[in-house]
Structure 1
Amino acid sequence: MRIPRIYHPETLPASGIIMLSEEAANHVGRVMRMQVGQEVLLFDGSNAEFPAIISNASKKSVEVDIQERRENSVESPLDIHLGQVISRGEKMEFTIQKSVELGVNTITPLISERCGVKLNADRFDKKLQQWQKIAISACEQCGRNRVPEIRPIMKLEDWCSEPYDGLKLNLHPRASYSINTLPAPVSKVRLLIGPEGGLSAEEISMTETYQFDEILLGPRVLRTETAAMTAITALQVRFGDLG
């Protein structure tokens, strides 16, 4: 049986007894119903993992005894920053979950002209917290020990105008070049994925102003969540650690 991986939001010691965070304790004690003596594998975002044994457990708290600190990086050599125009409901959650599994380092939710999601500031804050939890859960599942950052929501042009020293890509169905034709090597990519209705002509022109290269994935029009997964996978195959 696979040892459960649990994220701890504070820096962990190399050994010793600690109390799990409230959220982690609830997951271990109430959801998984783990008992004293069972093993867990903790990580704190430092790119290491910490084998531990449950030493005390109740409905409200869980205490574990950390055995050691073990360096274990499964991070891709390709640094991908995904700029995703916010999609409706579960589509955005799916995009965040799967992009984390595929090795994306940073995700910035974007607002564009045709973005179909309209939320006030409070709702956006709650969404950010929810999306960050999804990223953490994806790390627990896929074995990553470094948690990708979900940045605050930005307007499309503000994100495009940020200084960046890597390759900047925008998917476009009429582009002349594909990911396979990009020159190697590439170590950093800022990838823009538009909304379900696509970017407007003005927005496409704006991305060109900020030196985004247009690329084509194939002859078929893909949904926004499919486009993100396909592009990330293709980039990881070409420049990262897939394949």
Structure 2
Amino acid sequence: MSSRSTPRLHVSAPLAAGSSLPLPPGPSRHAQVLRLQPGDAVTLFNGDGGEWEARIVRMGRSEVDVQVERHEPVDRELPIDVTLAVGMPANERMDWLVEKATELGVAAIQPLVCERSVLRLSGERAQKKVAHWTAVAVGASEQCGRTRVPRVEPVRALAGWCAALPPGGAGLRAVLSLQHAQPLAALPAAGAALFLSGPEGGLTAAEEALARQAGFRAASLGPRVLRAETAPLAALALLGLR
């Protein structure tokens, strides 16, 4: 039976009992850093659901081969599909947000550039950041026991992203607001939720109006002003516990 103390490795490949495969470069480096040896047990997951028991069969200088043994149909995901759309906080705060949101069970993260954003990304730099945040999500999923890795969507400008949302989408849409907002806990429960929060300084009045036109309901997390990286995590924790 799989043990939570066994090293967990994410692989983007089909898995089947009895198959052998080389680990991708990232998991291979992880196995080597842990000084694993042939015969040592590892747990694999690929996002298709559950985990796979496996064993190291070969440790090369840079390659690691494993034998897949048995599937464990575990499920540690939230009962609600939550997407966080966030005005990206600057510096390492976005890394921290992605890591902690993954641990809390987020399904997807949509990085946004807003009018008051300090961090502004586009082109190749944005693509590299998304790849980096995806790697952060993979590492957090390996550590916390998740069987799926949340999606990190391409960076978008908030106005264009709002305009592209399908009208009347299923589930709850909520935007963090200090104006005429209901407590998030009082909004109706749903099987999916899309939560929008702004960057440092929050959303402008015009951006909030765009969100409301796209079907978002104004929501409050209480009387205190939370940081840009704290507010979406508080919302995720609240939605996930409902």
TM range (shorter): over 0.9
Deviation at 1:41, TM superposition (A): 0.2
Deviation at 1:174, TM superposition (A): 3.1
* TM-score, normalised relative to structure 1: 0.93
Q: Decide which of 167, 172, 175 is 1:170's aligned counterpart.
A: 175
Question: How many Å separate the matches in 1 of 2:131 and 2:143?
Answer: 19
Change (3 A) 1:234 1:202: same
**Residue 98 of structure 1 aligns with which residue?**
100
Question: How many Å separate the matches in 1 of 2:91 and 2:112?
Answer: 15
Identity of aligned residues (%): 35
Q: Is the 8 A contact 2:173 2:193 kept in 1?
A: yes
2:229 aligned with 1:225 = yes
2:113 aligned with 1:111 = yes
Deviation at 1:120, TM superposition (A): 4.1
Deviation at 1:110, TM superposition (A): 0.6
**Residue 59 of structure 2 aligns with which residue?**
57
**Residue 4 of structure 1 aligns with which residue?**
7
Q: Is the 8 A contact 1:15 1:69 kept in 2?
A: no
Deviation at 1:211, TM superposition (A): 1.7
| Residues 87-139 of structure 1: per-residue CA shift (max 9 Å, x gap) | 11211011111111111101111111111113341111110110000111111
Question: How many Å separate the matches in 2 of 1:208 and 1:42?
Answer: 42
Question: How many Å separate the matches in 1 of 2:103 and 2:198?
Answer: 21
Q: Decide which of 191, 200, 203 is 1:196's aligned counterpart.
A: 200
Unpaired runs of 5+ residues, structure 1, are 239-243
Summarize the alignment of residues 34-183 of structure 1 with structure 2, pairs less than 5 Å apart.
34-161=36-163, 162-163=165-166, 164-183=169-188
Question: How many Å separate the matches in 2 of 1:72 and 1:224?
Answer: 33
Change (3 A) 1:153 1:176: closer
Aligned length: 236
Question: How many Å separate the matches in 2 of 1:167 and 1:102?
Answer: 18
Question: How many Å separate the matches in 2 of 1:199 and 1:76?
Answer: 28
Amino acid at match of 2:55: I
Amino acid at match of 1:5: R
Runs of 4+ in 1 over 4 A off after TM superposition: none
Amino acid at match of 1:146: R
| Residues 168-203 of structure 1: per-residue CA shift (max 9 Å, x gap) | 1001123441122113x4111110010111111111
Change (3 A) 1:217 1:82: same
| Residues 30-57 of structure 1: per-residue CA shift (max 9 Å, x gap) | x211111111000111112111111110
